[in-house]
Amino acid sequence: MTAASVSTSTQEQDGGPGHGPRQPVVSFGGVSKSFGTVRAVSEVSLELFPGETVALLGPNGAGKSTALDLLLGLKNADAGEVRVFGTSPTQAIAKGRVGAMLQSGGLMEEVTVRELVALACDLHPKAYPVDQVLAAADLTDIRDRKVNKLSGGQEQRVRFAMATAGANDLIVLDEPTTGMDVTARQAFWATMRAQVEEGRTVLFATHYLEEADAIADRVLVLHRGRLIADGTAAEIKARAGARRITFDLEGGIDEQALGGLPNVVGLDVTGPTVRLRSDDADATMHAVYGLGLYPRNLEVAGLGLEQAFLAITDAATSAEEAGQR
């Protein structure tokens, strides 16, 4: 946030370099939560540290919102323990250390943007001046507009303003840029970066993998409630192992033969273009030439985060289904 400043940084409070081990901002120890027979969050253990920007990824229904609700004390775990700044989530929130922007929940309707944000400031133990919060969320021009007259992207900005009404050390965002256009998204992340530079920890759930790749310095992947990957975007891409090979073939394409080549873990054919995923591109290409084929426009590249995400979630699904058989 451009105008906001925090007098005591998280690092100072939690022991920066030379002040002993870093204390986690958030810790999940073997946390599980079920709804009836659905295991929404399953034995999740993780720690988040001061100043980290962490993306939480996962397919629909993977447990992201439930994990954030547990972190915010909106739901209680069936097993395991959630700690936020070494206390319970409710205590951390009561101390004004956590700001949250959630997906659901309507905004109060018959009030103006300024009135609603002022209310969030009134409720925050370490609030910033309301006009500063409005300016930082780019709401000054529409501050007198009724909340029920806003576009989806403007509503998101109001939610963001409410989440950053005071000096929080941890900001939790559930799909914060849904409904925002590209310009609004860029502006949003510029504002968030300013918050991170002030030493805050940001955890955001998203379906926009390019956003996770560009913004987060750490990526968590949930799949059917389990944490299946935790690392930098580069580590997750490397862990997916595979490389993508793209080339064009003239004449008929024998998909079965291509799919059966050594080390191929994925195949897509569109017109003359063949896209292979291989965990050993050299061996696969050797075999392509061995079939007597003449690939043109050959490209071999590492996986993007999106493809890596699909590769590791597909692998997790197959492993789980094989285990059930």
Radius of gyration, CA atoms only, the chain: 23
Q: How far is the CB of 43 from ligand ATP (least distance, A)?
A: 15
Instruction: Pick the closer one to ligand ATP by CB: 27 or 66.
Output: 66
Cα–Cα nearest to 261, from 241, 245, 238, 237:
245
Tell me the C-alpha to C-alpha distance, in Å, between residue 289 and each of 260, 270, 283, 294: 14, 20, 10, 7
> Exactly one of 3, 38, 190, 238 binds ligand ATP (CB under 6 A); which one?
38
Rounded Cα–Cα distance for residues 132 and 127 (Å)? 10
Q: How far is the CB of 42 from ligand ATP (least distance, A)?
A: 10
Cα–Cα nearest to 75, from 51, 112, 102:
102
Taking CB under 6 A as the rule, does residue 179 contact ligand ATP? no
Taking CB under 6 A as the rule, does residue 199 contact ligand ATP? no
Q: How far is the CB of 35 from ligand ATP (least distance, A)?
A: 3
Instruction: Pick the closer one to ligand ATP by CB: 37 or 256.
Output: 37
Taking CB under 6 A as the rule, does residue 60 contact ligand ATP? yes
Q: How far is the CB of 65 from ligand ATP (least distance, A)?
A: 3
Q: How far is the CB of 225 from ligand ATP (least distance, A)?
A: 7
User: What mask, x for binding ligand ATP by CB under 6 A, covers residues 131 to 170?
Assistant: ----------------------------------------
* Part in contact with ligand ATP (CB under 6 A); list of ranges 58-66, 240-248, 265-273, 281-289: 58-66
Across the chain, how many H-helices and E-strands are there? 12, 13
Taking CB under 6 A as the rule, does residue 40 contact ligand ATP? yes
Instruction: Pick the closer one to ligand ATP by CB: 65 or 307.
Output: 65
* AA letter at 119: L
Token pair recorded at residue 85: 């700044």
* Start-end of H helices in 151-280: 152-163, 182-197, 209-215, 233-239, 255-259
Rounded Cα–Cα distance for residues 196 and 194 (Å)? 5
> Exactly one of 24, 50, 51, 58 binds ligand ATP (CB under 6 A); which one?
58
Taking CB under 6 A as the rule, does residue 65 contact ligand ATP? yes
Token pair recorded at residue 178: 């849904």
Rounded Cα–Cα distance for residues 238 and 219 (Å)? 13
* Part in contact with ligand ATP (CB under 6 A); list of ranges 1-9, 60-68, 137-145, 315-323: 60-68
Instruction: Pick the closer one to ligand ATP by CB: 203 or 288.
Output: 203
* Part in contact with ligand ATP (CB under 6 A); list of ranges 18-26, 56-64, 148-156, 159-167: 56-64
> 111 by DSSP, 3-state: which?
coil
- 260 DSSP 8-state letter: T
Taking CB under 6 A as the rule, does residue 305 contact ligand ATP? no
Taking CB under 6 A as the rule, does residue 209 contact ligand ATP? no
Rounded Cα–Cα distance for residues 181 and 178 (Å)? 9
Number of residues that bind ligand ATP (CB under 6 A): 11
* Part in contact with ligand ATP (CB under 6 A); list of ranges 63-71, 93-101, 116-124, 148-156: 63-71
Which residues are bridge partners to 203 per DSSP?
A: 54, 172
User: Residues 240, 308: contact at Cβ < 8 Å?
Assistant: yes
Taking CB under 6 A as the rule, does residue 64 contact ligand ATP? yes
Token pair recorded at residue 135: 């300016």
Q: Where are the beta strands (DSSP E) in the chain?
A: 26-35, 38-48, 53-57, 79-84, 98-101, 170-174, 201-205, 218-223, 226-231, 243-248, 264-270, 273-278, 296-302
Q: How far is the CB of 227 from ligand ATP (least distance, A)?
A: 12
User: 13: Cβ–Cβ under 8 A, 6 or more apart, which residues?
Assistant: 169
Q: Point out which residues bind ligand ATP (CB under 6 A).
A: 35, 38, 40, 58, 60-66
